[in-house]
Amino acid sequence: MLSRIALRSARAYAAQGRLVARPTTLLSRPLHQSAKPPARDAFAPLDTFARRHLGSEPKEVNAMLKQVGVKHMDEMVGKTIPPAIRSPQNLALDHGFSERALLQRLKHIGSKNKVNRSYIGMGYTDTVVPNVILRNVLENPAWYTQYTPYQPEISQGRLESLINFQTVVTDLTGLPIANASLLDEGTAAAEAMIMCWQSTRRGRNTFIVDENCHPQTIACVQTRAESFNINVVVGKVDDALLAQHGKDLSGVLIQYPDTRGNVADYEQLTKAVHKAGGQVAVATDLMSLTMLKAPGEFGADIALGNSQRFGVPLGYGGPHAAFFACKEEHKRRIPGRIIGLSKDAHGKPAYRLALQTREQHIRREKATSNICTAQALLANMAAMYAVYHGPDGLKAIAQRIHNMTSVLAAGIKQSGYSIENPAFFDTLSVKVDDASTVMNKALELGINLRKLNNQTVSMTLDETVTKEDVNDLLSLFAKDLDADKIAQAINLDSNPIGFPAGLQRQSKYLQHEIFNSHHSETELLRYIHHLQSKDLSLVHSMIPLGSCTMKLNATTEMIPITWPEFANIHPFAPVDQAQGYATMLNELEHDIAEITGFDAVSLQPNSGAQGEYAGLRAIRAFHHANGDVQRDVCLIPISAHGTNPASAAMAGMDVVIIKCDNNGNLDMEDLKAKAAKHKDRLAAIMITYPSTFGVFEDGVAEACKVVHEHGGQVYMDGANLNAQIGLTKPGEIGADVCHLNLHKTFCIPHGGGGPGMGPIACKSHLGPHLPGHPVIKVGGEQAIGPISAAPYGSAAILPISWAYIKMMGGNGLRQSTELALLNANYMASRLAPHYEILYTNENGMCAHEFIVDVRPFGQLAGVEAIDIAKRLQDYGFHSPTMSWPVANTLMIEPTESESKAELDRFCDAMISIRKEIQDVIDNKQPRGNNVLTNSPHPLDQLINDKWEKPYTREEAAYPMPYLKEKKFWPSVGRVDDAYGDRNLMCTCPSPEEYMNDDN
């Protein structure tokens, strides 16, 4: 399937042969009307979705409209969005499926997928997902609706689980520090290359990649290297190649075991690379490392790979949690998030995000990585898999896989065929007369193998393989082979190894109590729920984070992601086995194109930041194709999210900052001056719309025109697309390309810090340059290289967004946008008498989010934004976005899924906090020692016999009456960030040992 020109007429789309369900009757009247609705079709289903997704009933909507000061929804929208950019037509989408009809439709589509036994390997294997983890983590909204743990006091559960993940990675790789996951193995390898390059202070520009790395990994590395002018050399890594490039060598990437299954001793090679002044990065497999010598033990500087086989479904390529570990000297260069152990205000151990100054939102255009999210939900699954099985269980799984591979190898040799890799863990590459014949014979048995060339096939075994599966594989090479007899002949009871004895692991791993305590389902279930109880998520209350769109992740949307027909497809399975995916992805591309006003779509980017990078690379490719290789300047507003300048730098562009005026709008005079100044080099502008200040700017169309007149392209950051759908379109405004945060606008859950997806949509002239892939044909005819390891990124979660669009329909999506705008303006109106609302348009309206200015309270009361954020935890709320885009402010985004009652509950909390601030201003409470600066208040402190605060326990714990009935308790007090960075600890020591450390 190609990333294709996806915008079609509604008639052409309907003619694709898709199953059309009876459209359900949505609320066709405006939400504000209170008149009796027209009579419904007696046969129409009642399980319509839009009314379940939208939080408020018409009566509540009317009350909010009145509070805002408008008579109806059209008036509110007219005062919020500039008329010049309003879409003239309604969205040409389905009218909206009922929930039951939607699931029936998707079952029909999924039936087109064929779930073979896939032994293709290449970093992806089938796995046994423990049902206790499947049900209680992956399918549990208390885990998947959490936000990134920037507020550690209400995130200790997932932070502990992620430090478990880091411990698994450090123990198995033999390296001292690991991050909390990356997007995929290909991305991780590209990050390793950049780390090696940075370690030479960018003075050495050659990076060697062994030819036996996975092909998708090689391609991702090559894509990333282009913009940094790093010379990637792919070949057999030996002394001759090192000698040829030694003086310019920054590093080497090897695969262990390699893509053909060979297990080699890389100790001497590592010494040679170090002697030449380079670093060694090892792409590896965690399961194999329970038996093989750890990369850190033979001198590797970096280890990376995919943790998917630790209990995460194949999912046609993702989402999966990549891992990344390195030596201590690289800790400030390691990409992504790191979880560390610190202490709270009372000396209690507490986890937190560590070393955040490394991240793109701080470094901006100086960053060499734009990673803004990770795969936290999948990392938590992998961590729980390791906790459940423990070191002995993992070793037993690995030994069983290896034993079956040994039986298969012995049988193949007995049949007269030769095995290319005599040293192996789970993969065999077999020389045959005709690879296609063997592949076809396997397909007849429902088996997928990998074709390496015309005379070589390979197969990778996994924990799901049975004796019957081994016999089927043996039958491909001879008729009379029997796995039982072969096993007896090679004496499996002795646990033979198919690799050199010197590579057999001797060191212990996962000795911490946590990996040796929860091996029954009862114990793991309790542990999962114990951690879950420490974390605030959407199951507790709204999460009003500006620019994050924490909306409903509906159960009907989530159910299909674990269906076998979607979960158990290998990303490199023959395309005729994934026709269900093809249908669903085609329809999703069409709908995205219609929603955005663009012509072509790529679903490959695994995050919003990856979407930015892909879009900017497509723009550069477009300029290069036109002979404008000098166009390398990217204009970026000073208010932009940190990923914007980081992505531009990664795409090889020079960032030029555009000023904003006092109202938060683009400074048009500054834009015109800089566009003119750089007219010969201007490549693009990156704009967010509505702006990062939460306002629909009048001048956006003019800004697009200015950039186009000077030869540039317009990149629109889709972070705020939830304020546009059905009312305006990026493509109609003047943008050339835009990414969509499916984990924001289109209901993929945030997962506590991932997964996410950032597909890009673009005009037809950029379509030929959409990302390609070396294994499965996708992208345009002049495609840039892949930016994700899998051709469709995290394909397994795309049914969520597909289902959301299909159930909402065009009408429902427009109503969703309208209600998101109304909810924000209602809250701003309620809070305006108590706080200054920093930015609104000339009509006094915000978009879907707004900024509360709390800066004056610092001088008046010694109260900062962080104090309000922490105090909100005592009220049972996650804080709004803190100190972005304006320092010491709070940005609030309610989304359309929250009811008026919940909006009021949050507003009441903010108003109550304002009164608490006033008590400090009026000297009723002391500065620096009050209910705000001491917040949050965990239960263990409130029941302490010693209470010497200038306020009561009840004032601390129950500032509002509803909290006595329904209270979420922070599990720790305010976490000491500085202490955690000074005393970095990123694995699982005992808390007692840590807290007794005098350092």
Please spell the DSSP secondary structure of 292-321, one letter per residue: BPPGGGGT-SEEEEE-TTTT---GGG----
Sign of CA dihedral 434, 440, 444, 448: positive
Name the phi and psi angles at 903, rounded to 5. -60, -45
Long-range contact list for 588-592, CB < 8 A, 24+ apart?
588/798, 588/801, 588/802, 588/805, 589/3, 589/4, 589/6, 590/6, 590/7, 590/8, 590/13, 591/93, 591/802, 591/805, 591/806, 592/6, 592/740, 592/759, 592/761
Q: According to the model, what pLDDT value does residue 14 have?
A: 33
Rounded alpha-carbon distances, angstroms, from residue 20 to 101, 557, 698: 10, 18, 40
CA 759/CA 643 separation, integer angstroms? 16
CB 987 within 8 Å of CB 513 = no
Q: Which residues of 734-757 are buried (b: 16+ CB within 10 A; e: fewer)?
A: bbbbbbbbbbbbbbbbbbbbbbbb
CB 429 within 8 Å of CB 449 = no
Q: According to the model, what pLDDT value does residue 720 have?
A: 95
Q: According to the model, what pLDDT value does residue 23 have?
A: 31
CA 283/CA 268 separation, integer angstroms? 17
CA 359/CA 352 separation, integer angstroms? 15
CA 680/CA 636 separation, integer angstroms? 17
Q: Which residues of 659-697 are buried (b: 16+ CB within 10 A; e: fewer)?
A: ebeeebbbbbebbbebbeebeebbbbbbbbbbbbbbbbb
Longest dimension (CA), the chain: 91
Could you check whether the bond before residue 690 is cis, i.e. omega within 30 degrees of 0?
yes
Identity of the residue numbered 784 = I
Average pLDDT for runs of 10 along the chain of length 999 = 36 32 32 47 89 96 98 97 95 94 98 98 98 98 96 97 98 97 97 95 93 98 96 96 94 98 97 96 98 98 98 98 96 91 94 72 55 88 98 97 97 96 97 97 98 98 98 95 94 83 96 97 98 98 96 97 98 98 98 98 95 97 98 93 88 94 90 98 97 94 97 96 98 97 96 95 98 97 97 98 98 98 98 97 96 97 98 98 94 98 98 98 97 97 91 97 96 89 69 43
Can you tell me which residue has the tokens 């509906």? 554
Query: Within 13 A of 347's CA, how many CA atoms are on the CB side?
Result: 4
Q: Which residues of 841-863 are buried (b: 16+ CB within 10 A; e: fewer)?
A: beeebbbbbbbbbbeebeeebbb
Can you tell me which residue has the tokens 């929860």? 518
CB 136 within 8 Å of CB 380 = no
What is the DSSP pairing of strand 338-343 with strand 322-326?
Answer: unpaired
Q: According to the model, what pLDDT value does residue 38 have?
A: 53
Query: 709: helix, coil or strand?
Result: helix
Q: According to the model, what pLDDT value does residue 366 have?
A: 59
CA angle centred on 491, ends 488 and 495, rounded to 5°: 135
pTM, to two decimals = 0.94
What is the DSSP pairing of strand 760-762 with strand 836-837?
Answer: unpaired
Name the phi and psi angles at 944, rounded to 5. -65, 135
CA 456 to chain centre: 36
User: Order of strands across the sheet with 231-235?
Assistant: 177-178, 322-326, 302-306, 279-284, 249-256, 206-210, 231-235
Residues 6 or more apart whose CB falls under 8 angstroms from that of 362 comprise 356, 642
